[in-house]
Amino acid sequence: FHQACSPFIQAARCYARPVRRKRKEFPSQLDDLPPTMLKKDYANVSIINSVDDVVKRLLSLEMASQREKMKIKTQQLVEKVRRSPNDNGSFEVQVAILTAKIRCYEEHLQVHPKDKNNRRRMLMAIDQRRKLLAYLRRVRYATFENTCKQLDIHYALPPPYSRRITKRSLVKKAFCLKVFQEVRKLKAPERLKQRREWQARARAAREKEAQAQSEGTPV
């Protein structure tokens, strides 16, 4: 026997049911990777062309993890800026690897904005990339421009150092100047005495040298 619930009880049950919010879909740097592309470890295997379609699908990016996709994306960014096929450690390659990591952290933080550990890692990677780009800009400007263009990096110059003038800093500066002047006044007699002693010794040395030259004896 099933007894129908009253509208009031039904409304109360619907109110108590948890509401699931839809997660926003943010654009990713991995969206341009085709699902049919093979994983990095199986791309250069010669026997891959003779396997079944099901096996190819299992070895493709459709079934790949986020880490495997990041390997391919990092390799694509490195290929854009590397100097030669054997270049794996130049400044441009390091900038490309850091750029892939930074964009991965940004995508993760859009979904999990309270992840402080990954936010700290992202800021450290940004700071390291800024130092590398500053060195390239100072030493090889053409390479710096090409790297920023190929990796779509908007480099902003660091702001010049400026210190905000406050009432406390002005009072502290005036106090330090006053202390410096008072110390100079206290040390003035001692400095004058030392100066007169140096002048007396220099005068005695000149007189001795002149006397030795007049007598014709070597000094």
The string of pLDDT tens digits covering residues 84-122 is: 988 888 999 999 999 999 999 999 999 899 999 999 999
Is residue 109 located within the same domain as residue 199? no
Is residue 91 located within the same domain as residue 192? no
Backbone angles phi, psi at 126, to 5 degrees: -65, -40
Is residue 138 located within the same domain as residue 57? yes
Q: Please state, in angstroms and rounded to a whole number, the distance separating the CA atoms of residues 57 and 42.
A: 12
In a domain, 1, yes or no: no
Is residue 147 located within the same domain as residue 189? no
In a domain, 192, yes or no: yes
Q: Please state, in angstroms and rounded to a whole number, the distance separating the CA atoms of residues 53 and 171.
A: 79
Express as a percent the part of the chain with pLDDT over 70: 79
Residue with the bigger pLDDT between 11 and 41: it is 41
Supply the pTM of this predicted model. 0.59
Is residue 208 located within the same domain as residue 172? yes
Window from 19-33, 80-94, 118-132 with minimum mean pLDDT: 19-33
In a domain, 69, yes or no: yes
- The per-residue pLDDT for 71 is 87
Is residue 209 located within the same domain as residue 174? yes
In a domain, 4, yes or no: no
Which residue reads 């007049």 in tokens?
214
Reduce the DSSP state of residue 18 to 3 states and report it. Answer: coil
Query: Domain range spanning residue 88?
Result: 40-151
In a domain, 27, yes or no: no
Question: What is the full DSSP assignment across 51-104?
Answer: S-HHHHHHTBGGG--HHHHHHHHHHHHHHHH-SSTT--SSHHHHHHHHHHHHHH
Residue with the bigger pLDDT between 58 and 143: it is 143
Is residue 44 located within the same domain as residue 143? yes
In a domain, 141, yes or no: yes
Question: What is the full DSSP assignment across 151-171?
Answer: HT----PPPPP-----HHHHH
